[in-house]
Amino acid sequence: MSIPYTKASEISAELFARMQGITVANGAETDTGLRVYRGRRNVDETQVPCAVVIEGNDTPRDRPGRLPAVSITQRFVLAAYVPCDADNPNDAAHAAVRDIKRAIFKDGGSWGNKVSRVSYQGRDIGPRAVGRPIVFVTVDIDVDYVEDLTNP
């Protein structure tokens, strides 16, 4: 039986590892996982293909009678920068989105009971900069888990 995650840092590390697995050698459509960054906001052409794990806001909910444990929903944005055909950038974008979804949900919506739930919250294909053969995508997920506030 797996040990449940109780810290945002554990969930971030899990996402980082899953994103690193997105390579053509591992059966993915893109090599997004060749470089994975934690929170990096600026990426230049020399770093593409790559992925970024961005930690968003968390939403705590008290668990009546259970403090100091609190239920948390943590938003994560999983971004990918991939090379594309300048005339058809969405083709590469859709491949990157599929790869991210497969990596995150490959073993269901609770990562083998390590978290309460992982839920898909949508995706976005960013506008491609004129003249740059790179497309940017994001996949948003929420991860529900219980945090022990005495050991965050």
Per-residue pLDDT of 36-88, as tens digits, reads 999 998 888 899 999 999 999 999 987 666 678 889 999 999 999 999 998 89
SS3 breakdown of the chain: % helix, strand, coil, rounded to 5? 25, 35, 40
In this structure, the number of other CB atoms found within 10 A of the CB of residue 96 comes to: 30
Give the integer Cα–Cα distance in Å for 56 and 141. Answer: 10
Per-residue pLDDT of 85-121, as tens digits, reads 988 999 999 999 999 999 999 999 999 999 999 999 9
Residue 61's pLDDT is 85
Catalogue the long-range contacts made by 37-41 (C-beta closer than 8 Å, 24 or more residues apart).
38/12
